[in-house]
């Protein structure tokens, strides 16, 4: 089983080691990469993500800050916080933790972040560059998946990649990246979603299946091609008889598909650790280029 695992923690550790060196070099030349995360409200899952991001960036020697705003914060106040960070030379990356409370216009907020500091690649200018094959930075989760494919020397060229899910965060940018004409892509790409009538008909022909639908253990062995590479992006809580009362599972039924796949990411310990690492990577990249 070990030889089939795509270990996100391992790939992440390799990248973070390189990043630590790079941060040291940047600091020696007077630049400390800085990331600021804005969190509106008290959503417990978001608070955990934000804490993890802050801890990870500090470990690398970067400057890291969190702006915690109450759930009732009005849009104008949030935009003025972003204005301040847009003009702060010590802040290289701005990340607004999603989802935002319903009274705040998410699109407007994401548009307000200076594209040069958009380390999540959500600004339309950066999305456009990505689609055109000339990316500024890559969106964190899809970028982490590409790094894992590269690390394990998984061939992408000419292979059929099926992406389940079409969100702006995962599915759409993943499809855009894998269809590009370059060494880490060149795939034939199919995107399936909730309006696709027979998902198994597509997933069964996937050489590389990327599952990002948020449905616990949706993909079973009979939906997977023999020898496929499976990347499980899903993070779903299911009830469990433990202290927390839940455990995390992916969108793929790991135990069921394991005998059939050539390689697979576990949940947790697969895509998750890579997402944060790529956020740090993007912040360091921006710091290197803007100073």
Residues with catalytic roles: 53, 97, 120
State the minimum distance, in angstroms, from the CB of residue 72 to ligand NAP: 25
Our CB check for ligand NAP shows the closer of 60 and 233 to be 233
190-to-11, 172, 186, 206, 212 alpha-carbon distances in Å:
26, 11, 13, 9, 13
State the minimum distance, in angstroms, from the CB of residue 8 to ligand NAP: 8
Dihedral sign (CA 127, 132, 137, 142)? positive
Cis preceding linkage at 168, omega within 30: no
Closest residue by beta carbon to ligand NAP? 167
Our CB check for ligand NAP shows the closer of 33 and 234 to be 234
Alpha carbon 139 to chain centroid distance?
6
State the minimum distance, in angstroms, from the CB of residue 2 to ligand NAP: 21
- 225: phi then psi, degrees, rounded to nearest 5: -80, 145
Our CB check for ligand NAP shows the closer of 114 and 204 to be 204
Query: CB under 8 Å to 187, separation ≥6 — which residues?
Result: 156, 157, 158, 159, 160, 161, 178, 179, 208
State the minimum distance, in angstroms, from the CB of residue 164 to ligand NAP: 6
Where do contacts with ligand NAP occur on this chain (CB under 6 A)?
141, 164-167, 169-171, 193-195, 199, 212-215, 233-236, 271-272, 275
Our CB check for ligand NAP shows the closer of 31 and 164 to be 164
Our CB check for ligand NAP shows the closer of 68 and 167 to be 167
State the minimum distance, in angstroms, from the CB of residue 165 to ligand NAP: 4
Instruction: Sheet with 263-264: list strands edge to edge.
Output: 188-192, 160-164, 208-211, 229-232, 263-264
The count of other CB atoms within 10 Å of the CB of residue 160 is 16
């Amino acid at each position: 089983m070990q030889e089939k695992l795509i270990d996100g923690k391992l790939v992440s550790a390799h990248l973070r080691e390189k990043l630590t060196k790079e941060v040291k070099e940047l600091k020696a030349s007077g630049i400390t990469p800085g990331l600021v995360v804005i969190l509106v409200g008290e959503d417990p899952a978001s608070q955990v993500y934000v804490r993890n991001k802050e801890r990870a960036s500090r470990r690398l020697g970067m400057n890291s800050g969190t702006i915690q705003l109450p759930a009732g914060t009005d849009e104008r106040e949030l935009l003025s916080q972003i204005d301040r960070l847009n003009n702060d030379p010590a802040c290289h990356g701005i990340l607004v933790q999603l989802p935002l409370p319903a009274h705040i216009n998410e699109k407007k907020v994401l548009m307000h972040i200076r594209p040069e500091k958009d380390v999540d690649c959500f600004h339309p200018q950066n999305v456009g560059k990505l689609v055109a094959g000339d990316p500024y930075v890559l969106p964190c989760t899809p970028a982490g998946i590409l790094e894992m494919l590269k690390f394990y020397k998984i061939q992408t060229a000419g292979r059929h990649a099926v992406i389940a899910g079409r969100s702006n965060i995962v599915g759409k940018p993943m499809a855009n990246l894998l269809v590009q004409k370059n060494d880490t892509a060149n795939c034939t790409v199919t995107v399936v979603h909730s309006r696709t009538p027979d998902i198994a008909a597509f997933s069964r022909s996937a050489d590389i299946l990327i599952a990002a639908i948020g449905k616990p253990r949706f993909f079973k062995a009979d939906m997977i091609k023999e020898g496929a590479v499976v990347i499980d992006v899903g993070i779903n809580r299911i009830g469990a008889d433990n202290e927390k009362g839940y455990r995390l599972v992916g969108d793929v039924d790991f135990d069921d598909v394991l005998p059939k796949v050539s390689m697979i990411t576990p949940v947790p310990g697969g895509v998750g650790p890579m997402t944060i690492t790529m956020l740090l990577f993007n912040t360091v990249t921006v710091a290197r280029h803007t100073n």
